């Protein structure tokens, strides 16, 4: 049985030597072509299959498999295929997966500066089609969770395009254009809602938009549908360019350059259980002074006039001035949701969102026991194993200090105030320990920076992580970035468990 409280640990770090020989500088951080910008796991394998992922550098796509490994065995990464982009002007930074509806062959889609989306058959290792339509470089790709043939792309031409890979749309694969008055500068991130009906977008203009995607016809479409206005738009969540945005259920996670944080927030009145709003309900830009516009505010009360609410702020220290650093949330039914992010100093950070609720319940139990007049007769509140233990003192305390600590602990149920040396505060735990827990698990201050629940580091501190990928079952977390480096984090090591063959 997997331990849901366990967070990934670094099992391997290596460099894939696939860089082209040119030292062409790139605007994303000014680094050469030896860098991976995106990684995504193939999501359509049967449960238990060895995870397969695709990583994209400027000129290459590397397809890898992670064979089964126990806690004691080394983690290997088997390279299945390397695809080189033969276009001289090609410089890729985004990928996503799909599959052939007839043969079941996996397809990987790759895009970048040449404004084209290339679709490769991974089984055959061949380019099968190219999608053309954007007027400038493409920075992100996403596959609809409801239909592997529906793809979204975000580009420097300020638009999001919805593509269909179905044979019925072969002559006109772009079925929808999300543009008009949505963005005014280069886009960096796009993400589908689990329902497939909504899309988030963000970019250099610090605007985050939520779009409603029209139903896709099963017949050939001569002209793509055009959506001029998003149903929600705001530039108030962040004060700089937003290089990553994603749904977490109906909530939203977003990150901006220079802020050293990831924000969890919600749109007031938005629920995916409600019927999608119509195009006529989308707010226009008639009043340009409004920094937030929403079609979901009809149910707001005077007590809740804001169109969005900030919920949590996760501290992502040491990102410097780097942008195009992107987080990824693992979110699957019956599993703990875990947020992962790698900064500009080789530190990969993890937050287990289930711990916030568990922590609140634990603290309420401590406080209830402290308030009880019969606390001495009650069983002690057991500290969860995932809470950090109190650090050992630097030196052995003298007899006077030891006596004072024991006396303070014995008097804890009678007087909640700490002792003169602040050695105990609640339930026998020191104030220092409680403060450390507060920094990682307290959610009462929506602007308070929540420290990572676990951090994995690579020696040297020179690695810049660009993207995080989670395997479909959450047992692997991969980080890629500068120097064509790949970091493999693992949890729930398998003890010689047989693996189902994958693609």
The answer to whether position 234 is within a domain reads: yes
In a domain, 501, yes or no: no
Please check whether residue 419 lies inside any domain of the structure: no
User: Is residue 362 one of the residues assigned to a domain?
Assistant: no
Convert the pLDDT of each residue in 230-280 to its tens digit: 999 999 999 999 999 999 999 999 999 999 999 999 999 999 999 999 999
Among candidates 253, 176, 162, 268, which has minimal Cα distance to 208? 253
Is 442 inside any structural domain? no
pLDDT over 60 (residue 384): yes
Mean pLDDT for 352-363 is: 94
CB 487 within 8 A of CB 465: yes
pLDDT at 395 over 60: no
Give, in order, the Cα–Cα distances in Å from 319 to each of 258, 334, 344.
7, 32, 5
- Which pLDDT does position 423 carry in this prediction? 41
- 3-class DSSP assignment, residue 365: helix
Give the β-pairing of 126-132 and 116-121: antiparallel
| Tens-place pLDDT, residues 411-449 | 333 334 444 334 456 777 888 889 999 999 999 999 999
Report which of 247, 141, 235, 251 is spatially closest to residue 188, judged by C-alpha positions.
141
- For residue range 176-215, list pLDDT tens digits in order: 999 878 898 999 999 999 999 999 999 999 999 999 999 9
Give this prediction's pTM.
0.88
β-pair partners for 83: 61
Would you state the pLDDT for residue 392?
55
- Going by C-alpha positions, the residue among 255, 240, 159, 231 that lies closest to residue 205 is 240
CATH of the domain at 74: 2.130.10.10
pLDDT at 2 over 90: no
CA distance linking residue 84 with residue 478, whole number of Å: 22
Give the model's confidence band at 24: pLDDT under 50 very low, under 70 low, under 90 confident, else very high.
Answer: very low
**Residue with tokens 């793809």, as numbered in its chain:** 151
Residue with tokens 């992502």: 316
Q: What mean pLDDT, rounded, does the chain reach?
A: 86
**CA 95 to chain centroid:** 15
- Taking Cα atoms as reference points, which of 140, 170, 16, 8 lies closest to residue 80? 16
Q: Does residue 156 lie within any of the structural domains?
A: yes
Give the integer Cα–Cα distance in Å for 108 and 119: 6
Helix (H) or strand (E) holding 432: helix 431-441
- For residue 485, the cross-strand partners are 15
Q: How many domains does the chain have?
A: 1
Residues above pLDDT 90, as percent of the chain: 66
Eight-class DSSP state of 214: P
**Containing structural domain, residue 265:** 9-297+304-356+450-490
Find the range with the poorest average confidence among 253-262, 315-324, 329-338: 315-324
Q: Three-state DSSP class for 166?
A: coil
Establish if 421 belongs to a structural domain.
no
Tokens, residue 165: 């890979």
Rounded mean pLDDT of 12-31? 58
Q: HSE-up of 471 (CA within 13 Å, CB side)?
A: 25
Half-sphere exposure of 386 toward its Cβ, with a 13 Å CA cutoff?
19
Sheet holding 174-178, edge to edge: 138-144, 147-155, 160-164, 174-178, 225-227
Separation between Cα atoms, residue 149 and residue 216, nearest integer Å: 11
Q: Give tens-digit pLDDT for 109-143.
A: 999 999 999 999 999 999 999 999 999 999 999 99
Kindly state whether residue 436 falls inside one of the protein's structural domains. no
Bridge partners of 127? 120
Compute the residue count for the chain.
503
Q: Distance between CA atoms of 432 and 384, rounded to whole angstroms?
A: 17
């Amino acid at each position: 049985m997997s331990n849901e409280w366990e967070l990934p640990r670094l099992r391997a770090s290596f460099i894939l030597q696939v860089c082209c020989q040119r030292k062409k500088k790139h605007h994303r951080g000014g680094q050469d072509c030896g860098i991976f910008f995106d990684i995504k796991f193939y999501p359509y394998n049967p449960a238990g299959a060895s995870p397969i992922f695709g990583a994209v550098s400027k000129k290459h796509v590397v397809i890898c498999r992670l064979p089964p490994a126990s806690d004691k065995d080394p983690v290997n990464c088997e390279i299945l295929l390397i695809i080189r982009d033969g276009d001289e002007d090609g410089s890729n930074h985004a990928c996503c997966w799909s599959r052939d509806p007839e043969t079941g062959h996996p397809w990987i889609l790759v895009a970048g500066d040449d404004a084209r989306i290339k679709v490769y058959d991974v089984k055959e290792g061949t380019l099968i089609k190219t999608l053309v339509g954007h007027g400038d470089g493409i920075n992100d790709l996403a596959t609809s969770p409801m239909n592997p043939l529906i793809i979204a792309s975000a580009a420097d031409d300020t638009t999001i395009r919805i593509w269909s890979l179905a044979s019925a749309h072969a002559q006109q694969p772009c079925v929808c254009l999300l543009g008009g008055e949505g963005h005014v500068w280069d886009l960096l991130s796009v993400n589908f809602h689990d329902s497939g009906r909504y899309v988030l977008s963000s970019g250099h203009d610090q605007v985050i938009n939520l779009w409603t995607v029209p139903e896709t016809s099963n017949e050939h479409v001569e002209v793509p549908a055009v959506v001029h206005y998003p149903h929600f738009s705001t530039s108030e969540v962040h004060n700089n360019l937003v290089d990553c945005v994603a749904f977490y259920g109906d909530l939203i996670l977003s990150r901006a350059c220079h802020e050293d944080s990831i924000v969890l927030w919600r749109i007031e009145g938005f629920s995916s259980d409600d019927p999608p709003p119509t195009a006529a309900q989308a707010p226009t830009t008639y009043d340009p002074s409004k920094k937030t516009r929403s079609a979901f505010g009809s149910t707001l009360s005077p007590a809740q006039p804001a169109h969005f609410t900030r919920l949590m702020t996760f501290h992502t220290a040491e990102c410097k001035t780097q942008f195009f650093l992107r987080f990824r949330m693992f979110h699957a039914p019956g599993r703990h949701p875990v947020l992962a992010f790698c900064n500009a100093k080789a530190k990969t950070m993890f937050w287990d969102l289930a711990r916030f609720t568990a922590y609140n319940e634990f603290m309420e139990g401590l406080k209830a026991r402290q308030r009880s007049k019969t606390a001495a007769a009650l069983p002690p509140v057991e500290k969860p194993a995932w809470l950090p233990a109190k650090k050992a003192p630097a030196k052995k305390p003298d007899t006077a200090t030891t006596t004072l600590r024991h006396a303070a602990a014995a008097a804890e149920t009678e007087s909640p105030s700490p002792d003169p040396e602040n050695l105990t505060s609640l339930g026998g735990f020191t104030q220092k320990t409680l403060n450390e827990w507060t920094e990682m698990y307290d959610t009462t201050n929506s602007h308070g920076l929540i420290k990572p629940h676990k951090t994995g580091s690579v020696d040297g501190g020179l690695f810049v992580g660009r993207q995080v990928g989670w395997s479909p079952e959450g047992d692997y977390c991969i980080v890629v970035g500068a120097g064509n480096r790949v970091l493999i984090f693992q949890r729930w090591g398998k003890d010689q468990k047989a693996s189902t063959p994958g693609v």
